[in-house]
Structure 1
Amino acid sequence: MKLDASASGVFPIAPTPFHADGRIDEASIDRLIERYLAAGADGVTVLGILGEAPKLEPEESLAITTRFIEGFGARPVIVGVSAPGFAAMRSLAHAAMERGAAGVMIAPLPSLRTDEQIVGYFRQAVEAIGADIPFVLQDYPLTLTVQMTPSVIRRIVEENPSCVMLKHEDWPGLEKISALRAFQKEGSMRELSILTGNGGLFLDFEMERGADGAMTGYAFPEMLTAVVRLQKEGRRDDAHDLFDAHLPLLRYEQQPGVGLAVRKYVLMRRGTLACDAQRRPGSTLSATARAEVDYLLRRLDQRSERLASWLAAS
């Protein structure tokens, strides 16, 4: 099943689990898959920026991809194939698609600055991997330092029919979503799936602006799927109440430089990962930071119990 512009829902960004010595932890991958499926994920994305993809050997990347494809069955798996050169991008993209991936995700090189450079880069990327492979355009200026205006995104989408989804991670970016949906409404841009990132930090209003769902790695995927569902059902206040209960932890996780460390620690505390290690170079949490996350988790448990009872009654 290939990805298309009708894709919606929640596609968690999967971290790559490691043992303390840096080896890949296959058992934790399997538990991640189980948690995502139990949470109602509509698909999954592997080898993203927070998947530590640049630290993996090519055969490791393919092994991880294959394990997720097998574990997700009929649900789509998107594979991050961003690379400094097109040869590596082409190789992983083709290998992933041969094993059953639904599509690939491509981020711009941080060196791109002008609109023409950005549009030209994605034109060349499509030429490299082939126009028959659906791809997700990743827009993450906070990390990649590449600024893509709505008009530039429209040009990329219109020039490349294989671009079927935008991973929207601009910040602030609500107006960008509105602008892109306005392009579609006026007929100047074809249909495009928009899934949002940034840890889910703005998901509550992003759904209201026209996003189709989320593609992010927040350690409580069940919250993401519930907020998306509640918004689609028109239960705005319920969606915001649930989101607000998680907001302190979402905010903490979005600190630059330690976000992945927080995410892996929470997943370890939840019993999904056996270890919160990152492959070197990587960040670690201090004892004080771990205690702060533990405090936030306790408060979230208390709030979630009360909220679950209230939502059930409503």
Structure 2
Amino acid sequence: MWTGVIPAVTTKFTPEGDLDHAEMERCFALQMDAGCDGIIVCGSLGEGPMLSQDERIAVLKRAQAVTQGKPTLMTVSEAGTREACALAAKAAKAGATGLMVVPSPIYHTDPAETAATLRAVAAAGDLPVMIYSNRVAYRVDVTPEIMESLADDARFVAIKESSDDIRRTTEIINRLGDRYAVLTGVDNLALEALAVGACGWVAGLVCAFPKETVAIYRLMQAGRTAEALAIYRWFRPLLDLDVSTFLVQNIKLAEALAIGSTEHVRAPRKVLSGARRAEVEAVVRDAIERRPALAA
């Protein structure tokens, strides 16, 4: 369950700002058709904080209709622990396979508060939990020491490692062995993380380029590193679009150009325009023009 390529999917909206269920179903199906191993909804890329809890449950259910038994995870990222626990319980009732849990993105918890929050959310949902450690975006570092302190609770099963330090993957494995499944969460460090022991990739640009993402993962698992590296080098300018304040708009523009999807976002975000749009569009169009042939 906690291996492979698991897209952190975008949430699709109509021009009026409502959930676009038909377009979500189409795009989620493309991920499954390419061989992805599950779906995570309503994360940072999925604009989860811009959605009501009821909307997040609706997106979860839309994904469940497509994943056909593969893991479907709900992201829990709330300012308050009470609200996070409420969402975890709702996701469990709606049939989520598991949770990806972010410590409060507003209040920057200390280690004791971080561990207490994660324990509370895990108990409320009573589902397998992927701990999302992203000190860059959320300014809370779920360190290997905190992970070790949580290891007595079997509900904590995986780590989305997004510290932006490739050494962290090895540090987790050296300290905790195989206690947690470690998945990389930084697109432009993915091959490096897989090379040092990550067993999965929570991916963003996969939304626009699912086949290439899956190919890299499978080639690495098969020990065909040179072939994976050739695709990864082509992919790198695209993967850099994930490491940006504008990752949502960047990736939605990539989806529009690569798979004919939409770019609608929730305010205060706006779709890319001007020089920034031209720059991203040039990267995506160049990649499409030079798209590599994928081996069987």
| TM-score by shorter chain over 0.5 | yes
Alignment match, 1:159: 152
Q: Of 68, 73, 81, which residue of structure 2 is paired with 1:78?
A: 73
1:308 equivalent to 2:296? Answer no
Q: Deviations over 1:25-81 (max 9, x none)?
A: 111101111210122110000011221112112221111111111111111100012
Q: Give the unaligned 5+ runs of structure 2.
A: none
Which residue identity lines up with residue 290 of structure 1 in the other structure? R
Q: Of 72, 93, 114, which residue of structure 1 is paired with 2:88?
A: 93
1:268 equivalent to 2:256? Answer yes
For residues 32-43 of structure 1, the aligned pairs below 5 Å read 32-43=27-38
CA distance in 2 between partners of 1:74 and 1:148 (Å): 30
Please report how far the alpha carbon of residue 84 of structure 1 lies from its aligned counterpart in structure 2 after TM superposition. 2.3
CA distance in 2 between partners of 1:83 and 1:60 (Å): 14
Please report how far the alpha carbon of residue 112 of structure 1 lies from its aligned counterpart in structure 2 after TM superposition. 3.4
Q: Of 142, 147, 167, which residue of structure 1 is paired with 2:141?
A: 147
Task: Find the residue that maps to 1:166 and give its secondary structure.
Answer: strand
CA distance in 1 between partners of 2:185 and 2:209 (Å): 14
Which residue identity lines up with residue 190 of structure 2 in the other structure? L
1:277 equivalent to 2:272? Answer no
1:291 equivalent to 2:287? Answer no
Please report how far the alpha carbon of residue 223 of structure 1 lies from its aligned counterpart in structure 2 after TM superposition. 1.9
Q: Of 113, 117, 127, which residue of structure 2 is paired with 1:117?
A: 113
Task: Find the residue that maps to 1:167 and give its secondary structure.
Answer: strand
Q: Is the 8 A contact 1:15 1:51 kept in 2?
A: yes
Please report how far the alpha carbon of residue 144 of structure 1 lies from its aligned counterpart in structure 2 after TM superposition. 0.4
Please report how far the alpha carbon of residue 298 of structure 1 lies from its aligned counterpart in structure 2 after TM superposition. 3.0
Task: Find the residue that maps to 1:234 and give its secondary structure.
Answer: coil
TM-score (norm 2): 0.92
Change (3 A) 1:25 1:38: same
Aligned length: 293
CA distance in 2 between partners of 1:80 and 1:239 (Å): 29
- When Rg is computed on C-alpha atoms for both structures, the one with the higher figure is 1
Alignment match, 2:57: 62
Task: Find the residue that maps to 1:194 and give its secondary structure.
Answer: strand
Please report how far the alpha carbon of residue 272 of structure 1 lies from its aligned counterpart in structure 2 after TM superposition. 4.5
Alignment match, 1:52: 47
Show structure 1 runs of 4+ deviating over 6 A: none
Q: Of 193, 213, 216, which residue of structure 2 is paired with 1:224?
A: 213
1:135 equivalent to 2:123? Answer no
Please report how far the alpha carbon of residue 160 of structure 1 lies from its aligned counterpart in structure 2 after TM superposition. 2.0
Alignment match, 1:233: 222
CA distance in 1 between partners of 2:153 and 2:212 (Å): 34
1:168 equivalent to 2:154? Answer no
| Identical pairs, percent | 26
Q: Of 122, 129, 134, which residue of structure 2 is paired with 1:126?
A: 122
1:106 equivalent to 2:94? Answer no
Please report how far the alpha carbon of residue 253 of structure 1 lies from its aligned counterpart in structure 2 after TM superposition. 4.1
Change (3 A) 1:253 1:95: closer
Please report how far the alpha carbon of residue 294 of structure 1 lies from its aligned counterpart in structure 2 after TM superposition. 2.9
Higher relative contact order (CA 8 A, sep 6+): 1
Which residue identity lines up with residue 212 of structure 1 in the other structure? C
Alignment match, 1:244: 233
Which residue identity lines up with residue 45 of structure 1 in the other structure? I
Q: CA RMSD in A?
A: 1.9
